[in-house]
Amino acid sequence: MCPQSPAGAPVWLRAALWLTTTPVRRRMVAGWSLRTAGPKWACVWRNHPEAQCRLRTIVMPAPWNGWCDPAWQALLHQRLHEIGLEPDGPDPRLLAQAERETFARLAPPWTKRMMEQYK
C-alpha cells in the first residue's frame, strides 16, 4: 500500500519514467496518473511498485486489444488494488488471462533468439 503523501521523487526516477513510458489521458484517482510502456519496460516498472508510489503513477503495458479489453482492465484493476486505491481485486480468471497475454508479448523475441543458436 502506498503512503498518502509520498515524498518528492528524485530527478533520475522522473527521467526514467519519462524516457520509458507514454502518458495516457484517462481519468484516474485524484493526484495519480496512468502511463503505458512496451512489454519489457512494463515488466521492469511492475517490479518497482514503491517507485510508482513515489511518482504517483501507475505504469501499465500498452493495451493489446484496446482500452476496453476485459483482460487489460483486470490488470489495471489489480494494480489499483495492489497500491490500495481499489478495495477488491479483479476476477482471477481475467487476471490470469492478462498475465498470460503480457508474457506472451515478451516471449517472441526471446524465442527467436534462442532458435537462431540451433541453426
pLDDT in tens, the chain (119 residues): 565 444 578 899 999 999 999 999 877 888 899 999 988 898 889 889 899 989 999 999 888 778 888 888 888 889 888 888 888 888 888 888 888 777 777 776 665 665 565 55
In the block, which residue shows the cell 511518482?
55
pLDDT at 6: 47
Question: Strands of 33-37's sheet, edge to edge?
Answer: 22-23, 33-37, 57-61
Q: What is residue 69's three-state secondary structure?
A: coil
- The structure's pTM equals 0.76
